[in-house]
Structures are given as C-alpha cells and as structure tokens.
Amino acid sequence: MSLLGIVLGLVLLMFLAYRGYSIIWVAPVCAVVVAVLSGYAILDAYIGDYMKGMADYVFQWFPPFFLGAVYGKVMDMTGSARSLGNALVKLIGSRFAVLAVVLPCLLMTFGGISLFVVVFVIYPMGYSIYRAADLPRTLLPGAIATGAFGITMTAIPGTPQIQNIIPTNYYGTTAMAAPLLSVVAIIVMFVPAYAYLEWRAHSARKKGLHFVPDPKHVEVNHDDKNLPSWHWVTGIIPVVVVVLMLNVFPLVLENATGFVLTSSQAMVVALLCGIIVACLLNLNQAKILLPAINEGANGSMGAIMNTACAVGFGSVVKVVPGFSVLTNIALNMPGSILFSEAIAVNLLAGATGSASGGMSIALEALGPRFAEMAAGNTATLEALHRIASISSGGLDTLPHNGAVLTLLAVSNCTHKESYIDICITTCIIPLVASLLLALVWGVMI
C-alpha cells in the first residue's frame, strides 16, 4: 500500500502540474496522499517531514537562488544579455536559426544566468530569428530548451548552475569534477539534440510550413535604449568573471592563504562578483540597476519555493515504508553504483519535476551510501558527481516541470504543439546518455 501511495502521489503530482496548478499547494496535497496510503499520520507528515524538508532546502540553497536571480535580472534589464545575443545573431545569421537561438542560451546558462531568466530574455530574440528564417514558431521552444535546460546545466565542468554544485556537498568534489566524462557527455547529448532540431527545421521547410505570428507577443524596439554597438561586451565580461571566480579564484586563494572555500561559498562569491561587474559596466543605466536587483530578489522566491515544495514532497516519500523498496531496487540494479545512481536520480527528478529537487532527494538518501561504497577513490567520487548532475537533467523535463510550463506559457505554445521537441532533446536524449555513460564509466573506473 505504501508503494502504491508513492505511485499515486507521483501520478497526481504530474497530472495537476500538467494542468497548470501551483506546486506550492499541489505538493503537500500529494504528500498527504502518500502519507494516508502508507498509514502515516497526516499532521506529522505535513508539519514535520514535509515542512522540514522544504525549510532545509531553502536554508541551504537560498543564497545561490537569490543571487542568481538578481544577476540574471541585472543582465536582462540593462540589455547586456540581449546585446550579447544580438551580436551572436549578427555573427551567425538567420540562415542558421537553430544555432543562433541555442548558442546564446548555452552562453547565458554557462555564465550563471537562471534558465527561467534565459527563457524570458531569449524568446523575443528567437521570435525575430525564426520569423526572419520563416520557420514555424512552434519549433522555437525546443531550441530554447536545448540550450537552456541541457548541457550547461549539468554536463559542462565548471558551470555555476546549482545542479553542478549540489553533488559537491555529498562527494567532496568541485564544480570541475570528471572533466573527461563531462566532455564525452557534452558530445553524446548535444550532437543528437542539435541534429534533431536541424532535421525538424529542414522538414518544416520541406513541408512548406511557415512562420505564424504570436498574437500575444508585442515586440519591443530596443533601439530606444540607444545602447552603443559595443554593448555586447557588457554581456560577455560578467559571464567570464562568474566562471573564473567559481573555478579559479578558490584555487588561487587556497594556494596564497591556505583558506579553503566550499563550493557553495565559491558560488556565492562568484555570483556577487558577477552582479558587481554587471552593475559597474552599466553605470550609465544607474536608474535601472536598483529596480533590476529588486525584481530579481522578488523573482528568486518563486523559483526556490517551487523547488523546495517538490523537495518537501520527496521528504515525505523518503520516510514511508515504500521508499525502502525503491531504495533497494536502486541499490541492487545490475552494474556499478554509477548506474544505480543514474536510475535513482532520474526517477526522483522525474517524480518531482525538478532537476535540483530530485537530485537533492536522491543524494540525501543514497549519497552517503554511494560515497562509502566508493571507498575514497577520487575518480569514482568525481564520476558519481558528474553522473548525478547529468541524470538530474533527464526525466526532470516531463510535462509537469516548472521550466517547461514557463517556456510554453511565454512562447504561447501548447504541449501538443511543442512539447515533443522539448521531450526528445532535454528528456529522452539526456536519459539515454546518463544511463549509457553510467554503464560504460562504471566498467572503466
């Protein structure tokens, strides 16, 4: 019955999220379903386990969420991110419309900008690119998702995205963990995803499909800001600063002073520096900076609460008897501990509709056991870090995922029109890649 409760709770969570209901109330309701069918006291489940899991997640990860949202909003409202994107479009051209959308998304997310912010920043630019290329607008969400929800979130070593930072707390690794595995993962995930998007664009042209305007989209003439032609520099420099401060500064500081920054501390320092640099480069827009910081701060609450509520649901799942059955299944999968981890993280990321939330639940329950089984082997610990990160970006983008719902809402497309592209490029391909890499690397280490 407990296992049945978990399954029903997950199905209900996905269904209600798919229908567009807020996870802030959906998650505790589904947690109650799990508790009731497991014979667990409702008040203990909600006030105790659910609230504790949610609060612990906020306590641990609020600074990166808050600073990441502020950084992204400053880059957005000053036009720095848009200027960088426009420069790339001019360099690449509308003929390569897919690449002109995917590449700016990759750069922005690698620079630490929240994928939610990237969706809002890129859509107006992508809209104009796909219109110029005369491609169906319904293909645009797939391209944005491929760039924003994919490899820069999980696979590229050194990325400041939270999905690359969470495993450091369990395995004692750094954001640069397993560089060789990371490079292979990038190739295995990006090449087929990009090839698929280009095939879709080619098929659309062959079928005679054309761009159809979005009746809800009002294009803004950004020339009104009178930004100088070199303003794209203000988009690239903060990105470089964030990456260097996250990956190089901690090493320099440790060698010079002996002081060791944790990954979470390094992430806070990096994002703070990115915000400061972005503000200094846009002092001519001083009136915009404080409102941008304010909007970013307010926006961070929604992002972290959605994820934290998903984690709260997982915290209830974790204490009911059925979870031990799922844990035993994950731990006793054929193959190495890497494959077991890949299965566990994928399942929980899919169940919660959150990459960071699902990975946090999986590693909280199984991370210490995996670390113990690794017996201090650095190569194995780094591989566990990277496989966990890659796996979190697989089943997380099921239809109830918050980022997917946001992307479709912003682009005014339905699941029926555009979800297939999102699913193939950011769900199926990463899922297959994570399981395949876990199997192969499990034999090699």
Helices 402-411 and 115-133 cross at an angle (nearest 10°) of 40
Q: How far apart are CA 364 and CA 341, in angstroms?
A: 12
Closest CA to 428 of 193, 154, 152, 184: 193
- Dihedral, CA of residue 119, residue 122, residue 125 and residue 127, to nearest 10: -30
CA 189, distance to chain mean position in Å, is: 15
3 state SS of 178: coil
pLDDT one-digit tens code per residue, 123-157:
777 887 888 788 899 999 999 999 988 888 889 88
Closest CA to 391 of 153, 175, 56, 209: 153
Q: How far apart are CA 167 and CA 148, in angstroms?
A: 20
Q: How far apart are CA 281 and CA 237, in angstroms?
A: 9
254-285 residues labelled b (16+ CB within 10 A) or e (exposed): eeeeeeebebbebbbbbbbbbbebbbebbeeb
Q: Where are the domains of the chain?
A: 2-207+225-444
Residue for token pair 């089984």: 373
Q: How far apart are the first and last CA of the chain?
A: 39
3 state SS of 40: coil
Write the CB contacts of 154 (distance below 8 Å, at least 6 apart in sequence).
161, 163, 164, 185, 355, 389, 390, 392, 393, 430
Radius of gyration of the chain (CA): 21
CA distances in angstroms from 287 to 59, 78, 406, listed in the order given: 32, 10, 29
Residue for token pair 């503000």: 279
Per-residue confidence in pLDDT tens, the chain, 445 aa:
888 888 898 888 878 876 767 778 988 999 999 999 998 889 989 999 999 988 988 888 788 778 877 887 888 788 887 787 778 777 877 678 899 889 888 887 887 777 776 787 777 778 878 887 888 999 999 999 999 888 888 898 888 888 898 999 899 888 899 999 999 999 999 999 999 999 999 999 999 999 888 887 655 555 545 678 888 899 889 888 887 887 788 889 988 998 888 777 887 888 899 899 999 999 988 898 999 899 888 877 877 787 788 778 878 888 888 877 876 776 677 778 899 899 988 888 887 677 887 888 888 878 888 888 887 788 899 999 999 999 999 988 887 777 787 788 778 888 888 999 999 999 999 999 999 999 999 887 7
DSSP H stretches of helix in 173-248 = 179-206, 233-247
